[in-house]
Structure 1
C-alpha cells in the first residue's frame, strides 16, 4: 500500500531527444471529457490522425473499460493544446478539475498490464494498461504527434517502483523518448528534479512542492512533447498508444494526444530568438520566429502562435517578415493567421516588438505553428533577462 509519509526522490537529468518540448500558456478554464460510453475507438483514432490520413484495423484493448478513454476539450490554456484524445490507467474524466483536490485520485480498473509497457517498466510490471492502436500506410518515412503525460504519482513517488509509463510503439519499437539516453516517458524519467522546462508541478499537498496554479487534477504533468519515429513508406505500419500503472493499480495517470497531430513527413522546425538578451524593466525588445521546412516540398501553415512571458505585451504594428498583419491577442497568446507558404528546404521569418515585464528576472518565450506538415515547436527559449539598473532602489 502506498503511503504519502514515505517519499523518495532520484536525480534525473533530462533533455528532449525524440520528444521535443513545447512551451504552454498559463492555465484557465477546465478540461471536459467525453468517454467511450458514447464514442467508438475508431472515432478516437481518427481524432488523432485527422481527416487527411487513412487508418484501419483500429483496436482498443479493453472494450469494457469505457471510462478509461475518450476525447477532451478545453485544454488549450491548461496543457498547451485545446482538444484531443485522452487515455488513462483509471478514469479519463478524473483529469478534469478547477483545482487539484486530491493527491491520490484513483479508479482501479482491475485489468492486466501490457507486455510492451512491461519492457519499459522493468524490473517492475504494469497493470491497468489501456491501449489504442491502428494501421496506416504513410507516403513518407517519418511520423510525429504531440502529447502531454500527467499523473497522480507525482511528486512523492518519483524514484520508486510506482513508475507509471506511456509508450508510443511504431512497428513494435517505443518512440516516445526523452533525454540524451533516449529514456522512455515515465514518472522516473520526466519529473520536477531537473530541467524544469520539461515538467509542470501541480501538487499542493507535498512540501516543498506546493503549487495550485493549474486547473487539473494531476499532481504533475509534462509540457507538450512531440514524438517522432521512422516508418516504412507505402506499406502498412502499426502504431500503439499505451499507458499503464506500474507495480499496483492505484493513482491514475493520463496521456493527452493533440487532435490531428499524427502526421507523416519531414517537419517544419520552429525556432525563436530575442533581439537582445537583456532589457531594462518595462523596456522594449523584439523576437524573431524562424520557420524551417526540412521537406523536399513546400508546406502551408495555417497559423503561427507565440506565447508571451508574463508581463510582456505586443507592440501594435510591429510585425514584419512573412506577414505585416497584427496578430490576434488572447491573454498572452499571439496568433497570426495564414496561409503562410514555407518553400521546400527553405525558411521564413516573422519579427515583432514587445514591451517587457517591469519585474526583474529571466523570461523565456515559445512559439509553434499549425498546417499541413509535422511541426516541431520551439520550446521555452529566447531568454531575456530583465534587471533593474539600480538594484538598491
Structure 2
C-alpha cells in the first residue's frame, strides 16, 4: 500500500498581547544577571522568571558610594537585598560603599503574584566618572537612546522588519522619498514605548535620537508631495513626503499593526492650520473611501477620529498623548502650550521629538485571499521645518496566521510514505505572534486512510499547543505494514483557516 500524506499550510485565529516592553532578552549566565558599569549613572533591564533574581554588578571603584534602585510598572515594586536570607533588609534602594570590583545583590520580584514585566535596575555613583573599559560580552547592556539606521531597502523594511508571520504574500513594495527619511529604529522602549521597528520621517530619521535639546529640530529631506496627505491636511501643500507602499494578500479577515506618531510641532503649533500630516491609506475589494484608489485612512483613534497634531495633543484627546518637553523650554510660554505637562527623566534623554501619541493600533476588515494595497505616508505641511515621524512596530503587521503545519517523511523527503519504509510526522511551526505565549492550533483530521488500520498516531481532530518559547511541535504517524495490496490512501489535516491562499 502506498500511503499519501497530504497537508495544508494553515493558520489558526489567535490573538496575542504585545508588551510595550518588548525588547530582546539579554543572555545571562546560570548564576544570574551580570551588569558591567561603564557610566556613573546607567539603567538596565532585568527579566523576571521567578521571585528571585541574582545580580552581579562589576567594574565598581573601591571606596566609592553606590546606589542601586529597582522599579517596575504594573503597580509592582521590586526590592533589593544583600542576599537571599529572609532576615536581610529588603528595600527599593540599596546603598553601599564598594569594597571590591564586583558586588552581588538579590532582586526580589513578585513574579508568582503576577509581576512579570521587565524590571528597571538603575546604578548610580554620585562621585564617579564614566569609565572607558570595555564591558564583557555576557554583561547587561545599558539602555540607550533611540538608535536609527537608514541601511535597509524598502523590501527589507516590509518583509524583514514590519511583517509579523509568514502566512500571507506581499508584492510591489516601493518607497517614494529621500533615503534618509526611511529606516529602522531600536531602543525605543523607554520613550515611544516600541522597542524596534520601521521609522518614516519628514526629515532625517537620525533626528529621532535624544536628548530633546531643541525646539523645532529637523529640516528638509528632499521628498515630494502627496495628494492624500494634502487632503488630510486641509488642502495645504505637502513637502518632504516619505511613502512606503506595498500590496498584500491577507489570509484572515482583519489586518492590524501598531504605531506611534511623533512630531516637533507639539506643542507650539497645536491648533494651527499648518500641521504635518500622516496617514495609512488602505484600498482594495470591499473598500470605498475618499482617497486615491478609493482608499480609507486607518490611522484613527478607536472612535474613528483621524490621528493628527490637532486631534491628539495635551488639550484634545490627552489620554492618547505623551508630552516630551522639559522644564525651561521657551515654547512652554506659547499660549497654545498652556497646561502642557513638564517632561523629565528617561524620555527626554532618549528622544528628540517634543511629543507623540500613545501606542495605537490600526485595524481594518478585509476579504481573505483578495489583494489589497496599503500606503504608509508622512509629510511636512506648508514648509520643510519641524520634523514629524511615524514609528511602526516590528513584526506587528498581521494579515495572516501565526502557525503552519507541514507533513514530513524523512525516508522519502516528501509527503509520501510507504508501508515498511519508515514513518511520517506532522510538524506544527510558529510563523509569527508572541513567542512568550502558548500557541493553540485547532484542526480536523480526515482522508481515506483509517486510523488503527492503516496508521497509528495520537493525532485526532482537536487541538495542539506549542509551549512558550518553543518554535515547533511534531506528532509522529506510524505506518502499519498490513501486507494488503491497495491503492494510495491519504491523511488530510485541515486547520480552521488556510495560511496560504494557493493551498486554500
Q: Same-fold call, TM > 0.5?
A: yes
1:228 aligns with 2:350: no
- State the alpha-carbon separation in 2 of the partners of residues 42 and 300 from structure 1: 18
> Match of 1:177, SS?
coil
Are 1:301 and 1:339, in contact at CA under 8 Å, matched by a contact in 2? no
1:201 to 320, 323, 327: 323
Are 1:85 and 1:257, in contact at CA under 8 Å, matched by a contact in 2? yes
5 Å-filtered alignment, 1:148-297, equals 148-171=260-283, 172-178=295-301, 180=303, 182-204=304-326, 205=329, 206-207=331-332, 209=340, 210-213=342-345, 214=347, 215-264=350-399
- Cα 1:300–1:174, aligned 2, differ >3 Å: closer, same or farther? closer
Residue 183 of structure 1: how far off its partner (Å): 2.1
- Cα 1:82–1:66, aligned 2, differ >3 Å: closer, same or farther? same
Residue 39 of structure 1: how far off its partner (Å): 1.6
Residue 51 of structure 1: how far off its partner (Å): 4.7
Q: Deviations over 1:321-358 (max 9, x none)?
A: xxxxxxxxxxxxxxxx33254989xxxxxxxxxxxxxx
1:50 aligns with 2:164: yes
Q: Deviations over 1:12-66 (max 9, x none)?
A: xxxxxxxxx997798953111110xx3211011111113514211001012xx11
Max Rg structure: 2
TM-score (norm: length of structure 2): 0.47
2:232 to 103, 120, 123: 120
- State the alpha-carbon separation in 2 of the partners of residues 71 and 300 from structure 1: 19
Are 2:259 and 2:391, in contact at CA under 8 Å, matched by a contact in 1? yes
1:131 to 218, 243, 268: 243
Which has the larger strand fraction? 1
> Match of 1:59, SS?
strand
- For structure 1, the residue ranges without an aligned partner over 5 or more in a row are 1-20, 268-298, 304-336, 345-370, 372-393
1:84 aligns with 2:206: no
> Match of 2:215, SS?
coil
Residue 301 of structure 1: how far off its partner (Å): 6.2
- State the alpha-carbon separation in 2 of the partners of residues 56 and 116 from structure 1: 22
- Cα 1:266–1:125, aligned 2, differ >3 Å: closer, same or farther? farther
- Cα 1:192–1:145, aligned 2, differ >3 Å: closer, same or farther? same
1:102 aligns with 2:214: yes
Are 2:312 and 2:357, in contact at CA under 8 Å, matched by a contact in 1? yes
- State the alpha-carbon separation in 2 of the partners of residues 233 and 119 from structure 1: 30
1:30 aligns with 2:134: no
Residue 266 of structure 1: how far off its partner (Å): 9.9
Are 2:311 and 2:317, in contact at CA under 8 Å, matched by a contact in 1? no
- Cα 1:96–1:139, aligned 2, differ >3 Å: closer, same or farther? same
> Match of 1:118, SS?
helix
Are 1:165 and 1:243, in contact at CA under 8 Å, matched by a contact in 2? yes
- State the alpha-carbon separation in 1 of the partners of residues 324 and 298 from structure 2: 27
* Number of residue equivalences: 258
Let me know the Cα RMSD of the aligned residues.
Answer: 3.0
Q: Deviations over 1:262-319 (max 9, x none)?
A: 102699xxxxxxxxxxxxxxxxxxxxxxxxxxxxxxx99646xxxxxxxxxxxxxxxx
TM-score (norm: length of structure 1): 0.60
Are 1:33 and 1:72, in contact at CA under 8 Å, matched by a contact in 2? yes
- State the alpha-carbon separation in 2 of the partners of residues 132 and 124 from structure 1: 21
